[in-house]
Structure 1
Amino acid sequence: MSEADTARGSHTARLLASELLVLFGRWRTWTMLAALAAVPVVIGLAVRFAPGRPPSGRGPVFLDQITNNGLFAGVVGLVVCTPLFLPLTVSVVAGDTIAGESGLGTLRYLLVAPVGRIRLLVVKYLSSAVFCAAAGLAVVLGGVLVGVVLFPLGQATLLSGAQIGPGESLVRLLLMAAYVTVSLLGLAAIGLFASTLTGVPVGAMAATAVLAVVSQILGALDQLDWLHPWLFTDHWLGIADFLRDPISWDSFGQNAWLQLGYVTFFGALAYGRFTTKDILA
């Protein structure tokens, strides 16, 4: 590796570190993460203080398992948050990447630094990807905390009928969080592209969030089953495969390839738009 390549890599790393400091230095970011963590906490409190045991087969999947193994509060939290709350928070962060800088009037100064448009796009996307991971972990952390405090850490029954203890439950919960992170990467790329189209962050955020909802609605229509494999939300609820014995990895691989396709396609669109865009602010 040449000295120029090393210098560029070092500069990109510093820029990414600076971007992450800005992202996680905002109250908005921590408020969203706290709200995500609160979802399994509310679920755990409802189960703990509700009269009687949760009826089997009713409510969110695995709700009745929380009383056996408190870590399943995190599982239920991920299942509940994946269709709406996680995409909503990712849409806010991804939609703000470029449009936020443009709206504040700092985009032109970033490019004069010089940062370079391609490098700035890459760094902005990577920061969104880090938030995707943080969002999933926030749900897991909230579930683990409420589960440990309010419930026993005993045996829990998987979809296949096998029983697992708290140690294996935690490992599978972390794998589910990783799966959710991968699931959101395509949405983050869509948000990045939307953010290059406007100087109004709210518009990019709303467009990204609406697309996530529309994709899930289309995925629920049997008449459009030919379209389902192409929707970026098609494998979002495949996290249940981590609660089988043995674990089924097929959904994870298919989801990863699908999200990679969306990242590549919308990353190329964002590149084409941003590198030819007149930066006036």
Structure 2
Amino acid sequence: MIEGTIVKGIGGFYYVRTEKGIIQSRARGNFRETNITPLVGDKVSIRISAEDNNGYIEEIFDRKTELLRPPVANVTQAVIVSSIRNPDLNTWLLDRMLVMADEQGLDVLICINKCEIDREYAEFVGSIYKNAGYKTILTSVKENEGLEELKDFLENHISVFAGPSGVGKSSLLNSINTNYDLEIGKISLKTSRGKHTTRHVELLELNKNSFVLDSPGFSSLSLDFIEDEIDLKHYFKDIEEYNGQCKFSSCIHLNEPGCAVKKAVESNKLSEERYKNYIMMINEIKNRKRRY
């Protein structure tokens, strides 16, 4: 038996990185009987067939995490990439991705990319999220800025890169490892949005214990896992810090009197834009409950 990690799956074949190299493998039939599907990122044990020299997956070891979209196992960190311009920074989408990563139990690194275009604004946004309790770095492929720091954060992790198309995820990955040679998306002049370039889930090896996920990232941003609007505040670190300081313990920081969070926003201790995004999500959850 040989142990390894599934780094890619295409057309029923799984490509397992082992100490003997990458071995093309198939899953045994008993996995279908138990309704278990191997995922990219799975730690597995394989047997080499003497008949066709292919590998056959005999065992899938327990998963630390499991993402559904993209379908991958054992991811430990989400690198959420937002460009400061081209396309413009979308804090609503960034905050939504932070909620998704927190729900999955992932470490988070926020990467403010293309910072050379508007450095003052990039530093301002970076300070907001650092003050909110998130690891945040500024990066620029053009200026070769923040790339070594990014590589340090990727050490000993399986990291998924998430963010809108066109923000520079593939460019960043190509810059930290020239062997990746990922296709770079172009920005549409009509929409100022990027075009998706990644078509399948694949783990790219940074070193023996570090992988990055070449994927579109969180392809679904539904908040259906939050059943009640009162629970949303637990996904906003900076808002959660005011837990217990409001007049009412059931305060959701919307229209209640004596709300410590609203006072913090008024005194610029909390980001007004983050708070507005929080309110939009609160209303979304409430509207969903009304429909059902």
TM-score (normalizing by structure 1): 0.25
Going by fraction, where is helix more abundant, 1 or 2?
1
Going by fraction, where is strand more abundant, 1 or 2?
2
Greater CA radius of gyration, 1 or 2? 2
Q: More relative contact order in 1 or in 2 (CA 8 Å, sep 6+)? A: 1
TM-score (normalizing by structure 2): 0.24
